[in-house]
Amino acid sequence: MDWLKERIVKEGVVLSDQVLKLDALLTHQVDPALIMDMGREFAARFKESGVTKVVTLESSGISVAFAAALELGVPMVFARRKKTLLADPDALCERVPSFTKGIVTDIMVSRQFIGEGDKVLFIDDIIANGDAARGLIKIIDRAGAELIGLGVVIEKSFQAGARTLREQHVHVESLVTISSLEGGKISFS
């Protein structure tokens, strides 16, 4: 994944020892060719798993999840962070803190889009503490679906999220692992 590491170094902005801003790469602007490359990589890593749905969280994970779902030939579902007037009143909901936003939000998925018999691949852009990931995993479980694995574009290994999920026997595949942001420098594992 040297190509992805190069882009992260070139376009990422280290805001602190804990926060890497990726607006130019994943969270505000996306490079469609790069996103498709990431989707192909996740599809290759999980193609033998029988995935029937790809899920993600609104909004930064959507582009990569879409690319992976396209490659796998399955639907993509995203968990919404805001209720709308048209929201399913029977949606599966979970309250989760957001590390980068510094707030607690509700995430929700309509029961009509995920359920028993689904084999779910969860794609996320960045995993830090893993709170949002654990919330969506709870929703997948309550829906009666099987979590096949979690594909993460960037794992921050100096934070506990991915490690704790692996300890819970979640199959986590990271494209890139960042071991430190200390001193404003991005260090990869």
DSSP for 154-178, please give it.
EEETTSSHHHHHHHTT--EEEEEEE
- pLDDT of 8 reads 97
Residue 85 reports pLDDT greater than 60? no
Residue 84 reports pLDDT greater than 70? no
Q: Annotated binding residue at 100? A: no
What CATH topology corresponds to 2-188? Answer: Rossmann fold (3.40.50)
- pLDDT of 55 reads 98
Q: How confident is the model at residue 99 (pLDDT cuts 50, 70, 90)?
A: low
The overall average pLDDT reported for the chain is: 93
What is the average pLDDT across 41-67?
Answer: 96
8 A C-beta contact, residue 143 and residue 115: yes
Residue 12 CA to residue 185 CA, distance in Å, equals: 10
Lowest mean pLDDT among 27-36, 65-74, 90-99: 90-99
- Taking the C-alpha atoms of 137, 33, 173 and 80 in order, what is their torsion angle to the nearest 10 degrees? -10
Q: Annotated binding residue at 44? A: no
Residue 69 CA to residue 91 CA, distance in Å, equals: 22
Q: How confident is the model at residue 70 (pLDDT cuts 50, 70, 90)?
A: very high
- pLDDT of 86 reads 58
Nearest to 175, CA basis, from 79, 61, 81, 75: 61
Task: Establish whether the linkage from the previous residue to 59 is cis, with ω within 30° of 0.
Answer: yes
DSSP three-state, residue 121: strand
Q: The tokens of 45 are what? A: 């890593």
Note the pTM of the prediction, 2 decimals: 0.93
Q: Annotated binding residue at 132? A: yes
Residue 45 CA to residue 172 CA, distance in Å, equals: 11
Q: The tokens of 123 are what? A: 């794609």
Q: Annotated binding residue at 128? A: yes
What is the average pLDDT across 19-29?
Answer: 92
Q: How far apart are the first and last CA of the chain?
A: 12
Q: For 176, phi and psi rounded to 5 degrees?
A: -140, 140
Give the tens place of pLDDT for each residue, 107-137.
999 999 999 999 999 999 999 999 999 999 9
Domain boundaries defined on the chain = 2-188
Q: Annotated binding residue at 43? A: no
- pLDDT of 87 reads 63
Q: Annotated binding residue at 102? A: no
Q: For 37, phi and psi rounded to 5 degrees?
A: -60, -45
Q: The tokens of 162 are what? A: 């991915």
